[in-house]
Structure formats: structure tokens, C-alpha cells
Amino acid sequence: MLRLLVAAVIAFVFVGGWAWVERSCIYPYEYRSYIETSAASRRTDPYLVAAVIKHESKFDPYARSDGGALGLMQLMPQTAEWIARQLGEPFTEDYLYDPALNIRYGVWYLAVLEDEFGGNDILALAAYNAGRGNVRDWMERFHWNDQFNEIDAIPYPETRLYVRRVLEDREQYKRLYDE
């Protein structure tokens, strides 16, 4: 019986089931409408946003990091409060568990970082992960500009890995969902 089940799974994967596994398990695209609406409003790549969410929270709207970041896009409450002030909106920390708001704020912040760093996704993602102050310091100390493209030069190993994986996953999201 077990052999039959294994054979059925293998056949499923080879007959096109792999695409289902990739889309459902490896590269989920939950909250797609929220992602695409927010990304379009800020002229941000929705696949980049999906890749950020995958790495930040694995699409868990109730995710909470040890450092206190909350929700799908793992926003720090202080950052989200600043975003709310910029947008003229009320804010409480619990709002960050709302997928629509968390994505909207996360996309807004990512777009601000992209603008601040000249549209450079590497620098914007590094700032999203390590903080914009750190990236500004690195730019000054290492004489980087907005043409920076050397991921291996990022001083923090965790941030290097984060940027590399998010950019790789963006390409997978494009491949799987670009219709």
C-alpha cells in the first residue's frame, strides 16, 4: 500500500503536480489582492512584496519577531506609527495584525526606501532588514551610491542572506504568477 501511495505521489509530481506544490507550499501568494492593490498604488513590484512577506512572516498575519516586529511584513510598531502619522491615520499596535493594513503600510515603507535609495532594490531591502540608518552609514563609510550592486559587500551576514533570498524569490514569484 505504501509503495502505491509513493508511486501515486511521484506520478502526481511528474504530471504537473510540481507546479501546484510550488504555488501552494513553496511560494504561496496569499493576500494577493491586497499585495497587488498596495503595490500598484505605490508603483512597487508585487512579486518583491510577496517575497518580502514570505521571508518576514511566511504569510502569517499574527507573526511576532523576538525584536517586536509584527504582522505579515514584520513592521516595528514605532515605524508603523510613523507611517500612520505620515498618512494622517489613527494607529494602535493591534492594527498591525490586519493583513490589509500591514501590507499597505509595509508597501508604503518599502516604496519610501526605494525612493530614498534611488530605486535600488538591494539597498532598499537592506534598509528594510537592517534599518535605513545602517544603510546610510554603509553608503558613507564604503562610498556606495545608488548604483550599488555588490550584495556580498553588505557588512551584516544576516542582511546579505536576506537580500539575496528575497531577490531570488521575487524571480520565482514572477515565474509562477506573472500572467
Q: Is the pTM of this model over 0.85?
A: yes
Catalytic residue among 56, 150, 171, 179: 56
**Residue of 65, 43, 44 whose CA lies nearest to 56:** 65
- Closest to 68 in 3D by CA, of 55, 84, 80: 80
171 is known as an active-site residue: no
Q: Which positions ≥6 away from 5 have C-beta within 8 Å?
A: none
Q: CATH assignment of 31-177?
A: 1.10.530.10
Kindly report, residue by residue over 90-132, the tens digit of the pLDDT. 999 999 999 999 999 999 999 999 999 999 999 999 999 999 9
Distance CA 4, CA 11 (A): 10
What pLDDT is recorded for position 23?
Answer: 57
Percentage of residues in the chain having pLDDT higher than 70? 88
Q: Is the pLDDT of residue 17 over 70?
A: no
